[in-house]
Structure 1
């Protein structure tokens, strides 16, 4: 699968590297430092370039930028008509302290309104990036930890599910895109558990329905 990574911070860099290790054709894009993109690409055996390069002929895109950069990266990406876009952004203020959208709307819904012809699906934003490598290294173990997946496009969810399983997680169907109104605040809970509570940031979760 040809995957464009729009944003090369903690989330984009780690997921892009892991997908490249799974054999996907990855292109890193959108960083303040072109040399950082080059280093990421060389380390992963991937490519790097402009946002337009990453978008062109992609089977899926990962949007992984700070909320303050969303308008800029989307302007460079174009209308994204028909593109499958995995969104892992949380709509945080510049200090990463408070959500700036919710709960009558959500960051995911705002993005979909900005590019209505794209095929949006949200995932990964409720799992700290520090968990990706440990989960990937133990991907054959069961049961697997989960990643919430929510969106209105069934086909985009299928693509996201494949890429989630490649990393070593199971996708957990969490309904339509409006679920983001509640999942994005949940991301703040996982951040609190990962970064402010004892035990380290490599946090995962798995929900189980009890029967009988």
Structure 2
């Protein structure tokens, strides 16, 4: 599968690296430093390019930029009609301390309004990037940690589910895209547990339904 990474910070850089290690054709794009894109590509056995080059011919895209950069990267990406887009952005202010969209809408829904013809799926925003390496290293072990995924396009969610499994998580279907109104605040809770509490940031979770 050809995957375009739109935003090559911690989330995009790590996910792109592990998808490349899983055999996918990855193209890194959108960074203040072209040398950083080239380094990520070199270290991952992937490629790098402009946003337009990453979008062209991609089977899936990952949007992984700070909320303040969303408008710029979408302008460079075009209308994204028919594209499967995995969104891991949380709509945070410049200091990453407060949600700037919430309860009556969500970042995921706002993105869908900006590009209504894209096939949006939200995922990877409820697990810190520090968890990806240990999860990938243990991907053959059961039970796998879960990762929330939500969206209105079932086929796009299935594509996302396969890419989630490639990292080593089990996709946890969390319903429609509007549920981002509740999942994005949950992402703030996972950030507090990862970065504000003892034990390190490599946090995972797993929900179990008890029967009997």
Shorter-chain TM-score category?
Answer: over 0.9
CA deviation map 1:144-174 (0-9, x unaligned): 0010000000010000000000000000000
Q: Is 1:193 the counterpart of 2:209 in the alignment?
A: no
TM-score of the superposition, structure 2-length normalised? Answer: 1.00
**1:85 Cα deviation after fit:** 0.2
Q: Which runs of 4+ in 1 moved over 4 A?
A: none
TM-score of the superposition, structure 1-length normalised? Answer: 1.00
Q: Is 1:203 the counterpart of 2:198 in the alignment?
A: no
**1:211 Cα deviation after fit:** 1.1
The secondary structure found in structure 1 opposite 2:8 is: coil
Aligned to 2:136: 136
**1:110 Cα deviation after fit:** 0.1
CA deviation map 1:164-188 (0-9, x unaligned): 0000000000000001000000000
Structure 1 unaligned regions, length at least 5: none
Aligned to 1:72: 72
Name the CA distance, whole Å, in 1 between partners of 2:206 and 2:179: 18
TM alignment of 1:19-38, pairs within 5 A: 19-38=19-38
Name the CA distance, whole Å, in 2 between partners of 1:158 and 1:138: 22
Name the CA distance, whole Å, in 1 between partners of 2:202 and 2:87: 20
Name the CA distance, whole Å, in 1 between partners of 2:156 and 2:206: 22
For these two proteins, the number of residue pairs brought into alignment is 212
Aligned to 2:47: 47
Aligned to 2:95: 95
Aligned to 1:84: 84
Name the CA distance, whole Å, in 2 between partners of 1:149 and 1:39: 30
Name the CA distance, whole Å, in 1 between partners of 2:136 and 2:18: 8
Q: Cα RMSD over matched residues?
A: 0.3
Aligned to 2:5: 5
